[in-house]
Amino acid sequence: MAEMSPDFSGSVDQCPALSPEQRMQSPGIGASKWVRLNVGGTYFLTTRQTLCRDSKSFLYRLCQADPDLDSDKDETGAYLIDRDPTYFGPVLNYLRHGKLVLNRGLAEEGILEEAEFYNIPSLIKLIKDKIRERDCKTVQLPIKHVYRVLQCQEEELTQMVSTMSDGWKFEQLVSIGSSYNYGNEDQAEFLCVVSKELHNQSYGTSSEPSEKAKILQEQGSRM
């Protein structure tokens, strides 16, 4: 029985030739969709889609094999980038999901430096806003108070309250009974608790109390 051989005499369909750009964009043809980066000795693996998120960035041009970029590769085929890998991580994550996540100990200024190097305008604006917001926040220090206890008779209360200025504030009035007076009339006596916010004084400023503060100090010395 004679063997049948395949007939190759008919026409054969051929795959159309692809340009380098088409080969770049077609998964599994020519170039893989995965890209390996060697940033300062640390390897990062990501996709071309992630690196091409911003068409103005250095990383986009890297994936497009821009001839103006002098991009070397190491022995593993990873693109060599002479930058700090610690600060590249947040930049890469921003391109992945559009959010800026900073690990503890990383300064915004360091991320800004990398964002400017890789030329990612949206990230640059985001970090500058964060730095501006951080710098505008005032440090909320705990407010300290100084307290004084003044002893006075009932008839002196009005005068004492009227001299209570310079930041002094009435806190509490405690009755301590009465004292004997030469007029054979008992005079009710009180302990008056006052407070004042204690502000840090800058060097070279005078700490001399005002006249009204001196009055309060003289009344307090009666205790």
d(CA 166, CA 122) in angstroms, rounded, equals 51
Q: Per the structure block, which two tokens stand in for 69?
A: 């970029």
Orientation angle between helical segments 108-117 and 121-136, nearest 10 degrees? 160
d(CA 100, CA 133) in angstroms, rounded, equals 15
pLDDT for position 175: 83
Name which residue leads in pLDDT, 55 or 154.
55
- CATH class given for the domain over 144-179+187-198: alpha beta
Q: What is the mean pLDDT of residues 201-222?
A: 47
The answer to whether the beta carbons of residues 118 and 79 sit under 8 Å apart is no
Q: Tokens 């710098």: give the residue.
A: 135
Own/partner contacts of 178-181, CB < 8 Å, gap of 24 or more, are 179/153
What DSSP character marks residue 15? P
Backbone angles phi, psi at 11, to 5 degrees: -70, 150
Look at residue 29 and give its three-state secondary structure. Answer: coil
Lowest-pLDDT choice from 47-61, 97-111, 135-149: 135-149
- 24 band by pLDDT with thresholds 50, 70 and 90: very low
Integer angstrom CA distances of residue 160 from 33, 153, 155, 212: 82, 10, 10, 10
pLDDT for position 191: 84
Domain ranges of the chain: 34-138, 144-179+187-198
C-alpha 149 chain-centroid distance: 44
* pTM as predicted: 0.49
Structural element, H or E, at residue 192: strand 187-198
Strands 144-153 and 187-198: antiparallel
Q: What is the mean pLDDT of residues 140-156?
A: 78
pLDDT for position 196: 85
69-87 per-position pLDDT tens digit: 667 889 998 999 999 999 9
Question: Average per-residue pLDDT in the chain?
Answer: 74
Q: If you compute the radius of gyration of the chain from its CA atoms, what whole number of angstroms results?
A: 40
d(CA 116, CA 57) in angstroms, rounded, equals 9
212 pLDDT more than 70: no
CATH architecture of 34-138: 2-Layer Sandwich (3.30)
Name which residue leads in pLDDT, 119 or 153.
119
pLDDT for position 149: 84
pLDDT for position 22: 43
